[in-house]
Amino acid sequence: PAVAAVLPAGGSGERMGVPTPKQFCPILERPLISYTLQALERVCWIKDIVVAVTGENMEAMKRIIQKYQHQRISLVEAGVTRHRSIFNGLKALAEDQPDSKLSKPEVVIIHDAVRPFVEEDVLLKVVTAAKEHGAAGAIRPLVSTVISPSADGCLDHSLERARHRASEMPQAFLFDVIYEAYQQCSDYDLEFGTECLQLALKYGHINAKLVEGSPDLWKVTYKRDLYAAESIIKERIS
Ligand code: CTP
Ligand code: MG
């Protein structure tokens, strides 16, 4: 069965606090997104990789694809929110345009461009589980306890850490389920919704299977994460 991947890469990386969006920041002289693309390309059963980038960065992205000889990549315009970027990627896969080399997959993987250390085993696990349940996502044990503050900035309640998990990426979905969910969902969902899994559940009448992922699935967010990513890459090369 055909599997495709959609990579949202249209953010500006505000929390990183540098002018270059983090997906284009160099690690050992190579842009971060190039490592993520390489990790997905290594997986021969992923047929198409659709990357959502802003118009402003489209040319830079094309140069990266050429320079590092990335394969099976199609580019689409990012949206103003992550969900809108993902939706644009799904649209490109859904629409049977005569001039498009893309075809609708049975299962789609959604993965952030800024999580370069995704490996084949977790991709296979989420895809296999998505085929069975409709949706699946990688999770991790919580590092910090999650608390809910009240309006006046005091503690309202805390969640029991051992009973909760952090939702990470990759996630995978039956294509028709997630595409239908994105078509149904409100502007509010597209602006403020954080979780593709939650959207799929809300509109898709399916189950979302949770799959334990490795600690290296974390998302490059702050500047220090670039240093952490660099040391992981060095460790893997040596
Ligand atoms: N993303 C996207 N389109 C947007 C916003 C985010 O495709 N409009 C992508 C980012 O490029 C990233 C992924 O979604 O690959 C995860 O988002 P996040 O870590 O929040 O990245 P940024 O939004 O760029 O960072 P920040 O929130 O710090 O500004
Ligand atoms: Mg963001």
Q: Could you report the per-residue pLDDT of 56-90, keeping only the tens digit for each?
A: 999 999 999 999 999 999 999 999 999 999 999 99
Please indicate whether residue 12, judged by its CB atom, sits closer than 6 Å to ligand 1.
yes
Q: What's the domain range around 18?
A: 3-237
Q: Which burial class, exposed, middle or buried, applies to 233 when counting CB atoms under 10 A from its CB (0-12, 13-18, 19+)?
A: middle
pLDDT at 108: 98
Q: Give me the number of domains the chain comprises.
A: 1
CATH number at residue 119: 3.90.550.10
pLDDT digits (tens, 9 = 90+) for 117-155: 999 999 999 999 999 999 999 999 999 999 999 999 999
Q: Give the confidence band of 98 by pLDDT, cuts at 50, 70, 90.
A: confident
Residue 14 is classified by DSSP as: G
Residues 178, 200 contacting (CB under 8 angstroms) = yes
pLDDT at 204: 86
Q: Give the confidence band of 172 by pLDDT, cuts at 50, 70, 90.
A: very high
The interface predicted TM-score of the complex, written ipTM, equals 0.99
d(CA 160, CA 147): 9
Atom of ligand 1 at shortest range from CA of 80: 8
Q: Is the pLDDT of residue 96 over 90?
A: no
Compute, in angstroms, the gap from residue 12 CA to the centroid of ligand 1: 6
pLDDT at 14: 98
C-alpha distances in Å from residue 117, one per residue of 6, 189, 236? 16, 28, 10
Residue nearest to atom 23 of ligand 1 (CA): 11
Please indicate whether residue 53, judged by its CB atom, sits closer than 6 Å to ligand 1.
no
